[in-house]
């Protein structure tokens, strides 16, 4: 039903995605009395490419995942994931409550064999392009085995999305030397280095944004703090730039002249381009769009779902996990 902004944004994003990707079909899941007017407003009719599937309830953004799972069996989120499970659709894209989405995904779709914990993974801009980072908050206490599984899942995603045969993997730590860090990251480093993955060792927080590696692995607590920190710094820089360009007549003139450059910078770093986090490790494709995503951002999340469908990401994770765990002598 569209996160913070409701169906108007979801429907506008759906229209944009249909225009951009002529091989996709969309099913809007939610209350028909809200979705039908939103479709009409954009001049859209239900047809072979876009349709409404009724769901009577909505999970609130602050609702407990356990309560949502137990009580709201006809929520748009639950119905959409049920449709993935039934094979009626190939992926679910939601801007709803992250915890509830993950809990529902796990309950309905189950995790892939060998995956104990699904992880949230997103692309982040870097000086040289982008990097994939996981986990961004689904798992607050991770073992070395979980981090190993994240490494495999991140590698598969980077292979699929970036067409990169051997993406490099870094493990987030507080120093690049092998003696640094807690026992969990040291053990995880050992485990990942024993796989056939292209493991580059430990990376530090600043390495995420230099593009030193293609995939950064962290536990969900650290990953979430890092992601939010980055958002905070970006917002602060933006704010300081703005207020300084608005200082007086001269600076306002400078701003006008610098505008094309500043717009280009804004475009390069535009978080909307990076909207759409994958809930990796589920037996199906579920993409989380930011709650406050606008039309462009949500359309990007739909694009990511389409790419993951094209590359059968869950199936590839299952295969690769077997392969990597067998390489270390373990059973998958």
Contact residues: its own copies, CB under 8 A: 62, 64, 125-127, 137, 140-141, 172, 174, 177, 179, 181-182, 204-210, 218, 220-222, 224-237, 239-241, 244-245, 247, 250-251, 253-255, 257-258, 260-261, 264-265, 268-269
- Please give the backbone phi and psi of residue 93, each rounded to the nearest 5 degrees, phi first: -120, 125
Closest by CA to 138, choosing from 152, 150, 123, is 150
Q: From the CB of 225, what's the least distance to its own copies, in Å?
A: 5
Counting other chains too, the contacts that 306-312 makes at CB distance below 8 Å and 24 or more residues apart are 306/17, 306/21, 306/23, 306/24, 306/91, 307/160, 307/161, 308/91, 308/157, 308/160, 308/161, 308/278, 309/90, 309/91, 309/285, 311/160, 311/161
Smaller CB separation from its own copies, 143 or 312: 143
Closest by CA to 332, choosing from 148, 188, 110, is 148
Q: From the CB of 219, what's the least distance to its own copies, in Å?
A: 9
Smaller CB separation from its own copies, 113 or 232: 232
Smaller CB separation from its own copies, 88 or 236: 236
Smaller CB separation from its own copies, 159 or 224: 224
Q: From the CB of 249, what's the least distance to its own copies, in Å?
A: 12
Q: From the CB of 180, what's the least distance to its own copies, in Å?
A: 8
CA distance 312 to 106: 18
Smaller CB separation from its own copies, 1 or 222: 222
Q: From the CB of 303, what's the least distance to its own copies, in Å?
A: 23
Q: Quickly list DSSP for 300-317.
A: HHHHHHHHHHHTTHHHHH
């Amino acid at each position: 039903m569209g996160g913070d902004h409701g169906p108007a944004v979801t429907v506008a994003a759906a229209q944009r995605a249909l225009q951009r990707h002529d091989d996709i079909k969309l099913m809007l899941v939610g209350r028909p009395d809200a979705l039908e007017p939103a479709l009409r407003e954009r001049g859209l009719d239900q047809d072979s490419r876009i349709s409404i599937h009724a769901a009577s309830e909505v999970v609130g953004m602050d609702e407990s995942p356990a309560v949502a799972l137990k009580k709201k069996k006809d929520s748009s989120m639950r119905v959409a994931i049920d449709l993935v499970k039934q094979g009626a659709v190939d992926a679910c894209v939601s801007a709803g409550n992250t915890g509830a989405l993950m809990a529902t995904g796990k309950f309905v779709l189950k995790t892939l064999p060998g995956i104990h914990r699904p992880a949230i993974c997103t692309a982040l801009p870097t000086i040289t392009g982008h990097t994939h980072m996981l986990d961004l908050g689904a798992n607050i206490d991770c073992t070395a085995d979980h981090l190993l599984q994240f490494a495999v899942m991140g590698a598969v995603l980077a292979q699929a999305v970036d067409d990169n045969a051997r993406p490099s993997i870094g493990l987030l730590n507080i120093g690049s030397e092998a003696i640094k860090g807690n026992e969990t990251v040291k053990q995880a480093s050992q485990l990942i280095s024993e796989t056939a993955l292209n493991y580059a060792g430990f990376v530090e927080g600043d390495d995420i944004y230099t593009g030193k590696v293609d995939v950064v692995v962290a536990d969900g607590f650290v990953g979430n703090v890092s992601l939010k920190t980055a958002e905070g710094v970006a917002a602060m820089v933006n704010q300081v730039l703005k207020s300084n360009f608005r200082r007086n007549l001269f600076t306002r003139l400078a701003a006008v002249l610098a505008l094309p450059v500043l717009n280009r910078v804004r475009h390069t770093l535009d978080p909307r381009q990076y909207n759409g986090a994958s809930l990796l490790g589920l037996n199906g494709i579920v993409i989380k769009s930011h709650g406050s995503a606008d039309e462009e951002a949500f359309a990007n999340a739909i694009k990511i779902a389409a790419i993951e469908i094209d590359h059968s990401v869950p199936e590839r994770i299952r295969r690769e996990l077997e392969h990597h765990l067998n390489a270390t002598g373990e059973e998958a």
